[in-house]
Structure 1
Amino acid sequence: MKKNVLLLYLLTLWTFLTSQSLVADPLRPADETPPAVAPSVTYILSMPEPQTHYFEVEMQVKNAATATNAKKNGYLDIKMPVWTPGSYLIREYAKNVEAFTASASDKRVPSEKIRKNAWRVYTSDDNVTIRYRLYANDLTVRTCFIDADHGYVMPAGTFMYHDALKNQPLRLIIKPYKDWKKVATGLKQVTEKVGITTDFTYEAPDFDILVDSPIEIGNHDTFTFTASNIPHTVAMFGEVAYNQQRLAADYKRVCETAATVIGEHPCTDYTFIVHHIPPGGGGLEHLNSTTLETTRNAYATEANYKGFLTLVAHEYFHLWNVKRIRPIALGPFDYENENYTHMLWLSEGCTSFYEDYILRRAGFHTPEAYLNIVANDITGIENQPGVRVQSVAESSWDAWIKGYRPNENSTNTTISYYSKGSVLGSLLNLAILAGSNGERSMDDLMRFLYNEYYKKQKRGFTDDEFRKAAEQMAGKKLDDFFNIAVNTADPINYNAYFEPVGIQLVNVAAKTQDGFLGTATTVANGKATITGVRRGSAAYTDGLNVGDEILAVDSIRVGDDLLRLISGRRVGDKLSVLVNRAGFVREITVTLTQNPLASYRLEPLPNRTDAQKALYNKWLYIK
C-alpha cells in the first residue's frame, strides 16, 4: 500500500516539474528553445541479391533538423566522398549510386541531385531516411565489390554524410546475404551489457572512423594471433593453400618488429583483410586495419612468400606512418576535393623503406640481401628518365593528376614518390646515423614526430617542422638532402651517404658497344607494337612513336623476334625500320645510341675504419 502511494506521489511530482520546465525556466531566455535531443545517424547495409553486384544502403538521420539547418532552410544536403584517404585520386564514387530516395516521418519527400556527389532533400522534418542502391563490381582495395561469393565495402565509396553530422557518433547495421555468416572489420561491434555480441551491429565515434574501416562480408577463412599483446584477426578470401601456423607466426614477427620502431602500439585490436585474386598486388592502410590483395600463389615459393610479407610490413607500418605520423594536409580530410602535400615521399616512400628494413630486422633478409634491395631501388629510379625531370616533392603534389594516371610518356617525365621516397628513406636514415655518431636513426625521428605531433599537439606537421626535426636528429643541417634530393631533380651524391658506413655505390653494368634502340614493345598475334619510347634514345630522337607496329627491320619481317634482329648492332649503326602507323606504312631510319642503363651494387670500401664497421653493424642490425 505504501509503495503505491509513493509511486503516485513521484508521478505527480514528475508531471509538475516537467510542465514547469516547458513553461518557464528562470535561467533560460524566454525566446530560447529547450535543448534538442542529440542527432544520430544509423546506416543499414543490405545485399539481398549479391549476384547482381548491388548493395542496398539506408541512412537514418534522427533529430537532426536543427543541427543541419533544415528547420531554417527547408532542406538538407547529403554527400558522398569523391576519394578515399590513402589513395590520392578523385574516384567519383557517386557514379555508382542509383535510385536515391528520401522520406520523412514515413512519407516520401522531394529530392534532387545538385552536384556530382550531392543530393538535396527538401524537408524540415527532424527524422529523415535516405535509401539508394550501389553498384559494386570493382574488386580493388580502393573500391567496392559484391558477387555471389563475397562482399567488400570501401566505406568512402558506400556511405553518404552531412557536413554538420560528420563528428556525430553513428551506428552501422550489416545484413549479410542469407548464406553468409562472417563479417571482418576494424569497427567496434555493439555488445550487450552481459558481453554477448549482437548480430552485425557496429559503432563509430564519427564519419572519419567509418571511412577508415573497410568491411569484408561472406564466409572467409579466419585465424587470429597476438602481437605486442594486441589481438590480430586475419580474414582470408579466395581459395588458397597456406600453412596457417607458419603464416600466423610470421605475421607476428613482422608486426612485433614494426612496433619496435615507435615502441608503442596505438591499437586495441587490428584486422587484416586479405583478398587472394588473380591480379594480386596492392594494399591500403587504415586506422586499425588494412586490406591486402595478393595472388593465389602468394605462399607457393619463398620469393612469393617474402614478397607478401613485404606487403604486410608496408601496410602495417602505416598504422604509425600516415595514420598517426602525418603531414598536416592528411587529416582531417576534405572528402570532396584533393588534399595536397609535398610529403607523400615520406608517408608512402619512407614506409616502402621501412617495409624492407623491418624484414631485415626481423631476420627475413640477410644483410647482403638487404644491400641488394637498396642497390636495386637506386638502379630502378636512376634508370628512369623522369628522375631528372620531376622532383619527389613535385611527384607527391601531382599524385592527384599523374601518380594514378600514367601514360606512355610517364617514365620520361615523372618519378614515383614510392620508389624514390624509399631510396630517400635509406639515405635519411644513414644521414641521421652518421650525424649522431650512431646515437640516433630514422626510428628516433619517427618517435619524435609521433610523440610531439600525434600525441602532444594532436595534429600533423608542416614541411618545415619535419625538416627541423630531421636536422635535430642528425645534429646538423641537411641542405643536400632537402635542397637537392627532395626538392630538385638533380643527381644525388649517393656515396656521401654510404661512405660513413664503409660502403660505396658502384655501377657494374657490363660495358658494351651494342647499340640501344630505346623502345618497349608488346607482341600479340605476331605483331610487335611499340608501347613506350625512352627519352633521348635512338627511337625517341629519330621518330618512332608509341602505337607504331614494327613491320620490318632492314627489310626483314618482324614478328616476336625484334630483339634478335637488333642484337649485336653497334653504336652508330643505322637501321631501316618499316612501321604501320595508323594504317599508313612508313620507313624510318634510326641511328642506334649508347645503352644508358646502369646496374648498381653496394660494395665495401677498401681499408674500412673501425668506426665505419661499427656504424655498418648498427645500420644493418648485425650483432
Structure 2
Amino acid sequence: MKLTAVAASCWSALVWGQVEYHINIDQPQHHLAQVEAKFPQVSTDTFEFHLPNWRTGRYLLLPLADGVRSMSVVDSNGEPLEWKKTARGSWLVQVDKPTQVTVRYQLHADQLGDRSRHIDDSHAFLDASGVFVYNPEFRDQPLEVSLTVPESWRSVAGMDSPKAHHFTAPNYDVLIDSPIETGEHQSFEFTVDGKDYELLFWGQGNYDVEQTLEDLKKLVAQGPGIWGGYPYDRYVFMIHATSGARGATEHLNSTVIQRTRDSFAERKDYISFMSTASHEYIHTWNVKAYRPQAMAPYDYQQENYSRLLWLAEGSTSYLQNQLLLTAGVITIDEFLADVAKRIERSEATPGREIQSVADASFDNWIATGGDYARNHSVNIYNEGYLASWSLEMAIIERTQAEKNYKDLHRYLYEQHRLPKGYSEQDVKVGLKRITGVAFDDWWQQAIDSPNSLDFDAILAQVGLQRKASSKPARVDYGFELKADQGTGLLTHVRRDGPAWQAGLTKGDRVIAIDGQWLKPGKWSSKLKQLSADKPVTFSYFRRDTLMTAMVHPSTKSAEKLKLEPVAQPTDAQKAAFTAWAGIDWPW
C-alpha cells in the first residue's frame, strides 16, 4: 500500500493503553543511545508520531530531530512497517491492520547548553522534548520510561519511580516537563513543610553544599506566602557544574541549573546562583501551574505566540529576589543593588522607546539579541521585570498598600490553573477584583505601548532615591569597543548617541584617535583621558576602506547606580516599601 501524508481513517479509533519508552545508553563516550517507543495497539490506517520542535522554557524553535538516525518501525510481530518523514519533527507510518507500533532510533545527545539532551561517560540529561517521540492520540495516556545505564549510575527525575531506572507519568505532558538526570552525582535530600526535596550536583565545582542546602530550605518555605500552598509533593534541584554551559530551565516539579564550575563561591556569584534557583522555583507556579491561554496546552510542533510572556517570565524575574529577601538569603543592600542594575540596563536600552513588552512577548520566538535588538527592542525578562514593578506600584497606590503584585499571582493561581490558562482580559479582571479599579488605561500605556518609566517617581513612592555620585562624570561616546586585530572594534553603537549621530556603526574598526594610532590594549585608557568639551576625530576601516568621523561626546555618571533611602520617609512611603519588598522599613 502506498504511503500518503494525509489519509482518511477507515478503522476505529486508537485503542488506549500505556506507552512504553526505553533508552539504552550504550555508547555514552560518543553521546549515543538507542531509544525505543512502544505504542499500544492501534486501529487506524495511518499512524503519526513526532519529536517536538522546541522545548518548554525556551521559546525558540530548535533542530531537535537532527539527533535522530537509523530509525525503524515494526508491528506487533516485529515486521517492518512502511514509514516516511513528513516534516522537521514528524513521521507517518502505514498500518495495514490493528497492531502495536514500536519505533526505534539512534539518538545523538550533545546539546548540554540547550538543556535538551546530553550524554557522556559521566551522566545523561534527558529532556523528553529532545529524546522521546509521541503520538498526539496517545498524548494523554499513561506511560513508563526505563533506562539501561552503566552500573554505577543513579537515575533521578520529578516523576514517580517504582524502581531504580524506571519512571511513570500520567501523560506525555508530565514526561516532557520532568527531565531525567542519570549518572554519577552528589545527592542530598531534605524536607520542608511536609514536602520532599532533592539537591543533585553533577560535576565538581566550588559550591558549598551546606550553605546551598540551608538557603534552599529558606527559599522553598516562601512559596505558600504568595500562592497559599504547593503544587507538588516532591521537588528536585538539578545542578550542572560545567566548563561552559550556563542557564537554567524550569519544569513541573524540578529545575536544571547550569553554571561554570568556579562560579559559586564568591558572594556575587552565589547570589546570582540563588537568584536563578529562586526564578526557576517560582516557575513551579507561574508557568507550570498557570500560564497564558495561548500556551495551554503546549503545541510542541510550532510556535506558541502570546503577548503575555512578559508576565510569565518578567514577573518571575521580578519576584525572584523578593523571595530571597523575605527568606533572609540576601540583604536589603543586595536586593537594591539588583534593582539599580535593572534600572541602569533599561536606561541604556534605547529600544524601550520603540517596542512594548507585549510586542516583545509575541516576537520572542524570533528575538536574536545583539546591537539592533538593544537599539530597537526590549527583553521580556528585564523589561518584563520593570513592567511588573510598575504594575505593583500601581496596585499599591490604588489600595493604599493593602494589596500588591503577589495578590494578582495568587488570583491567577486560584482562578486560572491549568488546563484553563489566562488571557489579557483575565488579568485585567483580576486586577479590578483586587483593587476595585479598572486597569485598561494603565495597560494600554504600560504594556501595549513602549513605556519609558519614571524611575525616580517609582523610587520615591517606596521612600528611595538615587545616591549622588561622588566622582566626576566620565566622557561618553555612545559606543562599546574592544581591542581586536590591532584595531578598536565597535561592538555596539547606541541609537541616537554621539557615535550614532556621527555615522559610526557596529563593526567599524577604529585605528586612530585625532590622527594618532594606538597600540592594542590602549584604547580604553586613551578614551578616558579625552575631554567631553571638544569633538574627537576617529579614523576607522569599513569595508576595508579608511574613513573618518567627528564625534561630539557627552557625559554620563562614572559610578554604577546606587539606591538609598530618603532622609525623612513618610508613613505612606514606609507602608508602600513593606508592601513591595515584603519586609519592614529597615533603616
Q: TM-score, normalised by structure 2?
A: 0.91
Deviations 1:240-259 (A, max 9, x none): 24443332111110111233
CA 1:344–1:200 in 2, change beyond 3 Å: closer, same or farther? same
Which residue in 2 is equivalent to 1:432? 395
Q: How does 1:197-596 map to 2 (within 5 A)?
A: 197=163, 199-402=164-367, 405-454=368-417, 458-478=419-439, 481-504=442-465, 512=473, 515-524=475-484, 526-558=486-518, 559-571=520-532, 573-582=534-543, 584-595=544-555
| 2-structure distance, mates of 1:163, 1:37 | 13
2:41 alignment partner, one of 26, 38, 63:
63
SS of aligned partner of 1:63: strand
Which stretch shows the higher mean deviation, 336-345 or 375-384? 375-384
| 1-structure distance, mates of 2:13, 2:548 | 80
CA 1:63–1:432 in 2, change beyond 3 Å: closer, same or farther? same
Give the aligned length: 571
User: Contact (CA 8 Å) 2:498, 2:551: kept in 1 or not?
Assistant: yes
1:165 alignment partner, one of 123, 138, 149:
138
1:94 alignment partner, one of 50, 65, 83:
65
Q: How does 1:176-191 map to 2 (within 5 A)?
A: 176=149, 178-190=150-162
SS of aligned partner of 1:61: strand
CA 1:537–1:114 in 2, change beyond 3 Å: closer, same or farther? same
Which residue in 2 is equivalent to 1:112? 84
Q: CA deviation at 1:118?
A: 1.2
Q: How does 1:76-87 map to 2 (within 5 A)?
A: 76-87=47-58
| 2-structure distance, mates of 1:543, 1:612 | 46
SS of aligned partner of 1:372: helix
User: Contact (CA 8 Å) 1:515, 1:573: kept in 2 or not?
Assistant: no
CA 1:540–1:123 in 2, change beyond 3 Å: closer, same or farther? same
| 1-structure distance, mates of 2:291, 2:119 | 32
SS of aligned partner of 1:188: coil
Instruction: Give structure 1 stretches of 5+ with no counterpart.
Output: 1-32, 191-196
CA RMSD across the alignment: 2.5
Q: CA deviation at 1:429?
A: 2.4
Instruction: Give structure 2 stretches of 5+ with no counterpart.
Output: 1-10
User: Contact (CA 8 Å) 1:349, 1:425: kept in 2 or not?
Assistant: yes
User: Contact (CA 8 Å) 2:15, 2:40: kept in 1 or not?
Assistant: no
Q: Which has the larger radius of gyration?
A: 1
SS of aligned partner of 2:355: coil
| 1-structure distance, mates of 2:14, 2:439 | 56
1:144 alignment partner, one of 88, 111, 117:
117
CA 1:35–1:535 in 2, change beyond 3 Å: closer, same or farther? closer
User: Contact (CA 8 Å) 2:202, 2:240: kept in 1 or not?
Assistant: yes
Which residue in 2 is equivalent to 1:194? none
1:622 alignment partner, one of 568, 580, 584:
584
**Amino acid corresponding to residue 550 of structure 2 in structure 1:** V
User: Contact (CA 8 Å) 1:515, 1:572: kept in 2 or not?
Assistant: no
**Amino acid corresponding to residue 531 of structure 1 in structure 2:** T
| 2-structure distance, mates of 1:427, 1:137 | 41
Q: CA deviation at 1:610?
A: 2.6
**Amino acid corresponding to residue 20 of structure 2 in structure 1:** T
Which residue in 2 is equivalent to 1:131? 104
Deviations 1:423-453 (A, max 9, x none): 2222322322232223222222111111111
Q: CA deviation at 1:83?
A: 0.4
Q: CA deviation at 1:495?
A: 4.5
Deviations 1:360-419 (A, max 9, x none): 1011233343233223211211211111111111111110001xx223321111111101
CA 1:237–1:319 in 2, change beyond 3 Å: closer, same or farther? same
| 2-structure distance, mates of 1:34, 1:375 | 62
Identity of matched residues, %:
28
SS of aligned partner of 1:127: strand
SS of aligned partner of 1:109: coil
Deviations 1:198-235 (A, max 9, x none): x3121111111111111111111111111221110112
SS of aligned partner of 2:371: coil
User: Contact (CA 8 Å) 1:97, 1:132: kept in 2 or not?
Assistant: yes
Which stretch shows the higher mean deviation, 180-189 or 468-477? 468-477
| 2-structure distance, mates of 1:389, 1:509 | 33
Which residue in 2 is equivalent to 1:25? none
**Amino acid corresponding to residue 565 of structure 1 in structure 2:** K
| 1-structure distance, mates of 2:470, 2:128 | 48
CA 1:601–1:306 in 2, change beyond 3 Å: closer, same or farther? closer
Q: CA deviation at 1:468?
A: 2.1
CA 1:540–1:497 in 2, change beyond 3 Å: closer, same or farther? closer
Deviations 1:275-323 (A, max 9, x none): 0013353211111111111221233222222221111111001101111
User: Contact (CA 8 Å) 1:538, 1:590: kept in 2 or not?
Assistant: no
| 1-structure distance, mates of 2:438, 2:560 | 31
Which residue in 2 is equivalent to 1:18? none
| 1-structure distance, mates of 2:360, 2:469 | 29
**Amino acid corresponding to residue 493 of structure 1 in structure 2:** D
CA 1:445–1:311 in 2, change beyond 3 Å: closer, same or farther? same
| 2-structure distance, mates of 1:85, 1:288 | 13
Q: TM-score, normalised by structure 1?
A: 0.86
| 2-structure distance, mates of 1:479, 1:499 | 25
User: Contact (CA 8 Å) 1:141, 1:293: kept in 2 or not?
Assistant: no
Deviations 1:459-501 (A, max 9, x none): 1111011022123323333456422222211422344444443
Which residue in 1 is equivalent to 2:8? none
| 1-structure distance, mates of 2:339, 2:439 | 21
